[in-house]
Amino acid sequence: MSEVFFPEGRKITIAGKDVTVRPFVLRNRILAIRLLADAAMEVQKGNPGITKEQLLADPDLQATVLNVLVNSAGERLVDLYVLATGEDRKWLQDHVLIKDEIALFSAIWEENDIPFLIGQVKSLIQGLKTQGKI
């Protein structure tokens, strides 16, 4: 029988509390992909031809993705934080400062290979455009 590996996640500190950011399970990835689809389309408009490697290497592009998510996702972004950390929504809303949000988003970015997900979303969008569905 093969052994199943569940990553432990990444520990960060928010408002003096240790929080673990875990990789998304399948059920949670649907919300993440919806959020990222909107952000990917916005970022792509300003950066045509962007690659996964560029997203991984460029903190300014990562900040752009976060900015787009914050501006377009609103409460859904808090949902993403709840899914990634398992923390209470109200606690997150009451305690996450901007510096904490950047650390939280960065940990989610790395734990879930967000550039890969954005690439998947871009491919899906391109396929739907080719089929005339959008």
Domain housing 49: 10-125
Decide if 3 is inside a domain: no
| The total number of structural domains that make up the chain | 1
Count H helices, E strands: the chain?
Answer: 7, 2
Query: C-alpha distances in angstroms, 8 versus 84, 120, 122?
Result: 12, 24, 29
Decide if 39 is inside a domain: yes
Decide if 130 is inside a domain: no
Decide if 131 is inside a domain: no
How would you write the pLDDT of the chain (134 residues) with one tens digit per residue? Answer: 444 444 578 899 998 999 999 988 777 777 777 776 666 666 667 767 777 677 667 777 777 777 777 776 667 788 888 889 999 999 999 999 888 888 898 888 888 877 777 677 677 777 777 888 66
Decide if 47 is inside a domain: yes
pTM: 0.63
Decide if 1 is inside a domain: no
Burial letters 72-103, b for 16+ CB under 10 A, else e: ebeeebebbbbbbbebeeeebeeebeeebbeb
Decide if 5 is inside a domain: no
Fill in the amino acid letter for 7.
P
